[in-house]
């Protein structure tokens, strides 16, 4: 089976590649990535997959694939800030190209959207109204870009007759995630291990449900293979809810670190375009009912695995990593 993963050298892309190589007999992977946000070493993939370093929007249609997973996107609270004003256009341009690829070869397309499409905080399920809050900011542009991409792909799927499923991941964590574009878990680990303050935005009161990347990509594959054509599915771990302040304390304890927790005003640090939701929690009843998928890795086990990853890297390696920044 020939499988294309766009954004295949990124955090979730590489976890997905590992999962498919292990679980799909005879699978032949093509990974396209322009390395715009990926700083993750992909040497392990060189003899296991075809790797194309290029912008996916420029990939000619016409190659034949049996499955397409579309992950390429501007990502991360800091990653998107640097592209403010162009984020939604990037997301929709890439989605159109994914739709054209699927239309040309008739391959089922799985689009990786985001939980950021939900306008309200708290428990979020696929049947909710997707109201747009009265706010302007880069994060809103990201949300609307993802929502527009979902819509345009549904219309392209109906027009050209390809199978489409959509996944909305909630916060993922795992080994090899980069702090460079603003993800909180790697930022806290890197700061805790270096004895630097752990930055808390908004007092660290935001609640997130972190799902290990291995569970997230298993969810993507389950939806691609068993999801209902045209449907949209949350993928996340509601049982792993935690406030960012408690997460910081847990990571500090795991690293046996003396780092202080430091309140930081993100707007002062990153400007008025910075926005984030106060609480997010996925309903996963629909994905479980249609595909049988459930997350398996609880928060403590997930954090222990990430801690093992950082412990293996060691402090000197962390000091020289290009992706260390002080931000959540």
User: Which residues of this protein are in contact with ligand NAD, per CB under 6 A?
Assistant: 7, 9-13, 32-38, 55-57, 71-73, 75, 94, 112, 114-115, 169, 171-172
To ligand NAD, the closest distance from the beta carbon of 328 in angstroms equals: 13
Name the one residue in this structure whose structure tokens are 């916060």: 171
Beta strand pairing status for 241-243 and 207-209?
antiparallel
Compute the chain's Rg from CA coordinates: 19
Closer to ligand NAD by CB, 124 or 171: give it. Answer: 171
CA dihedral 313, 308, 210, 27 (to 10 degrees): 80
From CA 287, how far away is CA 265, in angstroms rounded?
37
Q: Tell me which residue of 37, 42, 34 sits closest to 16, measured CA to CA.
A: 42
To ligand NAD, the closest distance from the beta carbon of 52 in angstroms equals: 9
To ligand NAD, the closest distance from the beta carbon of 279 in angstroms equals: 16
Q: How many CB atoms lie within 10 A of CB 88?
A: 22
Closer to ligand NAD by CB, 73 or 259: give it. Answer: 73
To ligand NAD, the closest distance from the beta carbon of 260 in angstroms equals: 26
Closer to ligand NAD by CB, 75 or 327: give it. Answer: 75
From CA 26, how far away is CA 259, in angstroms rounded?
48
To ligand NAD, the closest distance from the beta carbon of 24 in angstroms equals: 20
Q: How many CB atoms lie within 10 A of CB 4?
A: 27
Please check whether residue 5 is in contact with residue 16, taking contact to mean a CB–CB distance below 8 angstroms. Answer: yes
Helix (H, G, I), strand (E, B), or coil: what is residue 247? helix
To ligand NAD, the closest distance from the beta carbon of 75 in angstroms equals: 4
Closer to ligand NAD by CB, 169 or 257: give it. Answer: 169
To ligand NAD, the closest distance from the beta carbon of 258 in angstroms equals: 29
Please check whether residue 92 is in contact with residue 28, taking contact to mean a CB–CB distance below 8 angstroms. Answer: no
Beta bridge partners of residue 282, listed in sequence order:
124
- Closest chain position to ligand NAD (CB): 10
Closer to ligand NAD by CB, 9 or 257: give it. Answer: 9
From CA 239, how far away is CA 242, in angstroms rounded?
9
Closer to ligand NAD by CB, 180 or 259: give it. Answer: 180
Q: How many CB atoms lie within 10 A of CB 108?
A: 19
Please check whether residue 32 is in contact with residue 56, taking contact to mean a CB–CB distance below 8 angstroms. Answer: yes
Closer to ligand NAD by CB, 36 or 273: give it. Answer: 36
To ligand NAD, the closest distance from the beta carbon of 92 in angstroms equals: 12
Distances (CA, A) of 131 to 88, 118, 171, 236, 280: 17, 7, 20, 21, 15
Closer to ligand NAD by CB, 259 or 302: give it. Answer: 302
């Amino acid at each position: 089976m020939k499988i294309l993963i766009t954004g295949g050298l990124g955090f979730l892309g590489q976890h997905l590649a590992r999962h498919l190589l292990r679980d799909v007999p005879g699978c032949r992977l093509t990974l396209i990535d322009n390395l715009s946000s990926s700083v993750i070493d992909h040497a392990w993939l060189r003899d296991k997959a075809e790797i194309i370093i290029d912008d996916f929007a420029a990939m000619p249609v016409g190659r034949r694939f049996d499955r397409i997973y579309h992950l390429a996107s501007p990502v991360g609270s800091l990653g998107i800030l640097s592209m403010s004003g162009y984020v939604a256009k990037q997301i929709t341009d890439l989605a159109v190209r994914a739709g054209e690829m699927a239309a040309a070869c008739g391959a089922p397309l799985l689009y990786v959207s985001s939980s950021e499409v939900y306008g309200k905080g708290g428990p979020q399920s696929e049947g909710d109204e997707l109201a747009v809050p009265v706010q302007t900011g880069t994060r809103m542009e990201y949300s609307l870009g993802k929502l527009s991409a979902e819509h345009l792909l549904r219309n392209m799927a109906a027009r050209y007759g390809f199978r489409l499923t959509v996944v909305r991941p909630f916060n993922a964590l795992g080994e090899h995630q980069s702090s460079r574009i603003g993800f909180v878990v790697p930022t806290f680990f890197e700061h805790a291990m270096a004895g630097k303050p752990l930055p808390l935005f908004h007092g660290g009161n935001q609640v997130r449900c972190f799902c290990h990347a291995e569970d997230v990509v298993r969810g993507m594959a389950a939806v691609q293979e068993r999801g209902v054509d045209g449907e949209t599915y949350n993928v996340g771990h509601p049982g792993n809810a935690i406030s960012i302040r408690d997460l910081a304390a847990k990571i500090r304890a795991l690293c046996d670190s003396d780092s202080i927790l430091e309140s930081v005003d993100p707007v002062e640090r990153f400007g008025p375009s910075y926005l984030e939701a106060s609480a997010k929690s996925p309903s996963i009843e629909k994905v479980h009912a249609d595909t049988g998928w459930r997350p398996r890795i609880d928060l403590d086990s997930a954090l222990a695995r990430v801690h093992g990853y950082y412990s293996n890297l060691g402090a000197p390696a962390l000091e020289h990593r290009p992706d260390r920044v002080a931000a959540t």
